[in-house]
Amino acid sequence: MKILVTGVAGFIGYHLAKRLLIEGNQVYGIDNLNDYYDVSLKQSRLEQLLPNGNFIFKCLDISDRNATGQLFVEHVFDCVVNLAAQAGVRYSLENPHTYIDSNVVGFTNILEGCRHSQIQHLIFASSSSVYGANTKIPFSVSDRVDTPVSLYAATKKANELMAHAYSHLYQIPITGLRFFTVYGAWGRPDMAYYKFAKAIAEGKAIDVYNYGKMKRDFTYIDDVVEAIIRIIPHRYQTLNQPPYKIYNLGNNSPVELGEFITTLEKVMGKTALKNLLPMQPGDVVATYADVDDLIEDFDFKPTTSITQGLEKFVQWYQEYYGMDSTNKQKLTKNQLALLAG
């Protein structure tokens, strides 16, 4: 298959592209390489993909209507996996327009590209944050999600509504995935677990919100990729319904933040200094994924334990940051474009 992966230099995008290439697919990856977090990490991910002859990279922002439209004119894709988005809950409190540009305008451009290209399947990233102030546990895709507590969550809910409309109007097969706290090797430095590892390694204090009493359904990256791989070839059999469905993609086993930190300390062999702080605006007390639909439709459920996942992450972290900085090639956007042809 020829698959378009947006946000390919991001955490999930990189891992998905790598797996797709291993399985012999052609991957056309796009990313705007913004500086929301360390660009050199995004570049390092791309360096792992560029040597594969079935991988093509283009530096492109999906919020650019003309460039995105032209991409769909010039290429025929069997499937689109849209992972490009402005991430982060707290960042949305300070930079709201960035979320509208990327998550709403950009997603509209992807939907339009899929409509005019008769794409066989669009898969897009939603988020567990859409459950917002929901108090029913575990979170089910049948729950109402009308109470977002951050703009980020609101844009992801908007994506789901937009996707449903396009699926209904144009019969585009679309699958939305509500990711639950994805973590692992090559992860995002803005995520709490990454910040914790960095601080512990450097002997600095970590900020622990809600005094460590929050619970998260931490989901290891390999489990996320396996689920997407199974979903890509899926073809909907519907009667008088749009070919559209939402799935939770979580570990189905929430862990208290304090326990998560304790496990990370054991894996790293160091004790963390902790600043215990109250809940932050935009945060929720707990996330917990009901994955019954995922099990029923794809015979799959994430299985990586917190200990297993953190061991893999810490091993990568120590290897990556243990490298001599002179050996980490840091490419400019233009250099990456040249390498990608």
**14, 36, 131, 152: which one is catalytic?**
152
Residue 221 has pLDDT above 90, yes or no: yes
Active-site residue flag, 321: no
Whole-number pLDDT of residue 90? 80
- Predicted TM-score (pTM) of this structure: 0.92
Whole-number pLDDT of residue 285? 84
User: Hey, what are 76's tokens?
Assistant: 């025929």
| CA 253 – CA 28 distance, rounded (Å) | 34
Mean pLDDT score, 52-68? 98
Segment 119-162, tens digit of pLDDT = 999 999 999 999 998 888 899 999 999 999 999 999 999 999 99
Mean pLDDT score, 257-280? 92
Query: Is the omega angle on the peptide bond into residue 278 within 30 degrees of 0, that is, cis?
Result: no
Residue 337 has pLDDT above 70, yes or no: no
**How many other CB atoms sit within 10 Å of the CB of residue 182?**
24
Q: What are the strands, taking DSSP E only, across 34-102?
A: 55-59, 79-82
Residue 315 dihedral angles phi and psi, to the nearest 5°: -60, -45
| CA 145 – CA 77 distance, rounded (Å) | 32
Residue 330 has pLDDT above 80, yes or no: no
